């Protein structure tokens, strides 16, 4: 099995290798190409899609997808089978608390509400992080348990949907100061991500995610790195919950379950390896955009909604298997290799 591609003939081989390397290193390329293609297809089918009046609300619907996917990312990047299943119920919790607890009690002022909700998200994320990073629970199990607990709390707080009066969150899903409100959610997070890449923590996160043993032995505090990763995920889930409130303008426990698996799928579609240590926020955001655009396109074409699921699953399989196929030259040794 080993090194079969080392003897590609002719000059073209160098280029081919370079292209393959480029695809391997920039794993989001597939999602990017797919996004562009889907935007073109959407516009062709429904010219109004690209009209300026539509874009802010389209972006508003996209925002919870993209943010849920980005919130799932730090846990995955931190490696060791890292995953956070509790992102979606946390979004639900933030949505419910914002609507029933804050907006309806005069605490809706964003200057009060936003820091409170981000803090809540961070604390819950930190609980996940401690379970994984210090108590050594397998991440799937730890976050599944937290998923159940949060889901139960959501249901207790808002057994029935509660709609809300007009409020500032609506602007996040439409326009705020003449620009799409999504700029202030997804846009800000992406911008912060580019600054984040310059921090010391960024390097530690990727080192731990790729090889926790090597990082630990070199003096990186792997436990703390993982706790911080889950905490970041929790904070982002809170942002996602606020963006969700913006689009649905109500507290509704039937909405968040939709994001549980979609978020993970978007991450995988965006080319982030679920084994950790590779990727970023751009991939998940693009992956989420693909999911949204597929949905939009098929419904614009009047295709049965169930084909959306088929298409979505198929695209996901093609993306991950294709990605794995590309990565095979660098694969780990197999059983009898």
Query: Which residues, numbered 47-86, are part of the site for another protein (CB under 8 A)?
Result: 80, 83
Q: Is 217 in the site for another protein (CB under 8 A)?
A: yes
Number of DSSP helices (H) and strands (E) in the chain, helices first = 14, 4
Q: Is 225 in the site for another protein (CB under 8 A)?
A: yes
Q: Does 34 bind another protein (CB under 8 A)?
A: no
Q: Which of residues 172-201 bind another protein (CB under 8 A)?
A: 199-201
Q: Given candidates 9, 47, 159, 166, which one binds another protein under the rule CB under 8 A?
A: 159
Is 282 an interacting residue with respect to another protein (CB under 8 A)?
Answer: no
Q: How far is the CB of 280 from another protein (least distance, A)?
A: 12
CB burial readout 202-219, b (16+ within 10 A) else e: eebbbbbbbebeebeeee
Helix (H), strand (E), coil (C) string for the chain: CCCHHHHCCCCHHHHHHHHHHHHHHCCCHHHHHHHHHHHHHHHHHCHHHHCCCCHHHHHHHHHHHHHHHHHHHHHHHCCCCCCCCCHHHHHHHHHHHHHHHHHHHCCCCHHHHHHHHHHHHHHHHHHHHHHHHCCCCCHHHHHHHHHHHHHHHHHHHCCCCEECCCCCHHHHCCEECCEEHHHHCHHHHHHHHHHHCCCHHHHHHHHHHHCHHHHHHCCCCHHHHHHHHHHHHHHHHHHHHHHHHHHHCEECCCCCHHHHHHHHHHHHHCCCCCCCCCCCCHHHHHHHHHHHHHHHHHHHCCCCHHHHHHHHHHHHHHHHHHHHHHHHHHCCCCCCC
- Tell me how many residues contact another protein (CB under 8 A): 80
Of the candidate spans 40-48, 118-126, 220-228, 235-243, the one that interacts with another protein by CB under 8 A turns out to be: 220-228
Indicate the DSSP class of residue 102. Answer: I
Q: Which stretch binds another protein (CB under 8 A): 56-64, 111-119, 221-229, 230-238?
A: 221-229
11 touching another protein, by CB under 8 A: no
Q: By CB under 8 A, is residue 123 in contact with another protein? A: no
Q: Which is closer to another protein, CB of 115 or CB of 203?
A: 203
Q: Is 302 in the site for another protein (CB under 8 A)?
A: no
Cβ distance to another protein smaller for residue 144 or 190: 144
Of the residues 152, 165, 194, 301, which one makes contact with another protein according to CB under 8 A = 152
Q: Is 280 in the site for another protein (CB under 8 A)?
A: no
Give the burial string for 91-116 (b: 16+ CB within 10 Å, else e): bbbbbbbbbbbbbeeeebebeebbeb
Binds another protein (CB under 8 A): choice among 12, 105, 135, 302: 135
Which residue among 221, 249, 250, 299 contacts another protein (CB under 8 A)?
A: 221
Which of the residues 245 through 274 are near another protein (CB under 8 A)?
A: 261, 264-265, 268, 274
* 9 forms part of the interface with another protein (CB under 8 A): no
Residue in 16, 18, 136, 197 binding another protein, rule: CB under 8 A: 136
The single residue among 149, 176, 190, 300 that binds another protein, judged by CB under 8 A, is 149
Work out how close the CB of 187 gets to another protein at its nearest, in angstroms, rounded to a whole number: 25
Provide the minimum distance between the beta carbon of 281 and another protein in the complex, in angstroms, as a whole number: 17
Interacting residue with another protein among 14, 37, 214, 301 (CB under 8 A): 214
């Amino acid at each position: 099995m080993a090194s079969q591609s080392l003897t590609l003939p002719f000059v073209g081989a160098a280029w081919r290798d370079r292209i393959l390397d480029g695809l391997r290193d920039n794993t989001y390329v597939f999602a990017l190409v797919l996004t562009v293609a889907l935007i073109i297809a959407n516009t062709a089918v429904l010219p109004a899609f690209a009209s300026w009046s539509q874009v802010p609300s389209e972006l508003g619907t996209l925002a919870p997808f993209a943010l849920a996917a980005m919130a799932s990312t730090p846990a995955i990047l931190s490696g060791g089978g890292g995953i956070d299943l509790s992102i979606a119920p946390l979004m639900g919790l933030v949505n419910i608390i914002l609507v029933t607890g804050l907006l309806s009690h005069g605490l809706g002022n964003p200057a009060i509400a936003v820091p409170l909700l981000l803090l809540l998200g961070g604390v819950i994320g930190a609980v996940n992080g401690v379970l994984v990073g210090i108590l050594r629970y397998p991440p799937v199990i730890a976050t599944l348990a937290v998923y159940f607990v949060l889901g139960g709390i959501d249901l207790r707080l808002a057994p029935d949907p509660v709609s809300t009066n007009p409020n500032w969150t609506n602007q996040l899903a439409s326009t705020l100061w003449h620009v799409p409100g999504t700029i202030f959610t997804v846009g800000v997070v992406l911008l912060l991500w580019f600054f984040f890449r310059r921090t010391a923590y960024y390097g530690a996160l990727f080192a731990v995610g790729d090889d926790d043993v090597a990082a630990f032995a070199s003096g990186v505090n792997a436990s703390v790195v993982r706790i911080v990763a889950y905490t970041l995920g929790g904070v982002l889930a809170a942002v996602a919950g606020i963006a969700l409130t913006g689009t649905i303008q109500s507290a509704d426990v039937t909405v968040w379950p939709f994001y549980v698996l979609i978020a993970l799928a978007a991450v995988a579609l965006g080319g982030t390896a679920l084994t950790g240590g590779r990727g970023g926020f751009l991939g998940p955001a693009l992956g989420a955009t693909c999911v949204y655009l597929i949905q939009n396109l098929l419904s614009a074409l009047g295709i049965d909604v169930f084909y959306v699921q088929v298409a979505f699953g198929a695209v996901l399989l093609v993306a991950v298997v294709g990605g794995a196929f590309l990565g095979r030259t660098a694969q780990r040794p197999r059983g009898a290799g």
